[in-house]
Structure 1
């Protein structure tokens, strides 16, 4: 496995996803606040949910990043990289809206306490945090720490995979926001 290619692919996915999420902040008020007929969240609420989910995932990513860098002192990084394989197939469904039931914790539900500009600033900061972690672990150190991810039975995943998961989660909600927008147009 070429770890440098993997890191670059995750950066590219992250950048593309965050850029697409950011475009939603410029939508008109009707689109941002439209309540879909299925009783789902408005685009504003979805954006807040993306921020909240990122917030809690970044706590795990930060801890994992620190542990991975500590593990670097005691583990054989080259051996770990040589024995590592990244399976995108295991993660594919994470980015697909409605692909499986996702029961999110209550603390990741939008509360409506943040303005769109606050959410946008926070999500931009989160994007930069992810890039910082990828740059800090630029030589493959992210494979040296695994944490359990229960969503869709992923199991133990490393820090790079957590960042990829975060990016896929946003991608999942891009579809949901597009669905809202299409329904807005029909009404």
Structure 2
């Protein structure tokens, strides 16, 4: 396994996902506040949900990265890298909106407590946190700690896979925002 290629691929995916999410903050108020006919969240609420989910995932990523760095002294990193293969297919459904039922915890539901500028700044900080963790674990150390992920039965995943999951979650909701925007355009075109 080329661990450096994996890290670079995750960085690239993060940049694309976060750049796309950031563009939504520049949409007009009609698009940002449109409540879809299915009763789902507005784009503003989706952006807040992305922030909240990232917040809680980053707590786990921080713990995992610290543990991975501690494990570096006790485990054989070269053997871990040699034996590791990234099962990208296993994760792809996470990035697809509506691909499976996702029951999120209540603390990840938007409350409307934050304005768009606050959310934008916080999401930008979260992007940089992810990059910092990838830079900290730049030699493969992220393989040395696994934590259970119950979403879509992913099971035990390593610190790199947690960061990739976070990026896929953002991608999932970009599709949801596109759906909202499409419905908005149709509704106000009439």
| Counterpart in the other structure of 1:80 | 80
DSSP 3-state at the match of 1:148 = strand
DSSP 3-state at the match of 2:162 = helix
Normalised TM-score (structure 1) = 1.00
1:121 paired with 2:102, answer no
Written as runs of structure 1 = structure 2, the 5 A alignment for 1:23-34 is 23-34=23-34
Distance between the aligned counterparts of 2:126 and 2:43, measured in 1?
19
Distance between the aligned counterparts of 2:18 and 2:148, measured in 1?
24
**Moved beyond 6 Å, runs of 4+:** none
Q: Let me know the Cα RMSD of the aligned residues.
A: 0.3
Distance between the aligned counterparts of 1:85 and 1:151, measured in 2?
20
Normalised TM-score (structure 2) = 0.98
**Unmatched tracts of structure 1, length 5 or more:** none
1:13 paired with 2:13, answer yes
| Counterpart in the other structure of 2:140 | 140
Distance between the aligned counterparts of 2:28 and 2:180, measured in 1?
13
1:28-79, Cα deviation, whole Å (9 max, x unpaired):
0000000000000000000000000000000000000000000001101000
1:81-119, Cα deviation, whole Å (9 max, x unpaired):
001110000001000000000000000000000000000
| Counterpart in the other structure of 2:42 | 42
1:159-182, Cα deviation, whole Å (9 max, x unpaired):
000000000000000000000000
| Counterpart in the other structure of 1:53 | 53
DSSP 3-state at the match of 1:147 = strand
| Counterpart in the other structure of 1:112 | 112
Distance between the aligned counterparts of 2:52 and 2:39, measured in 1?
20
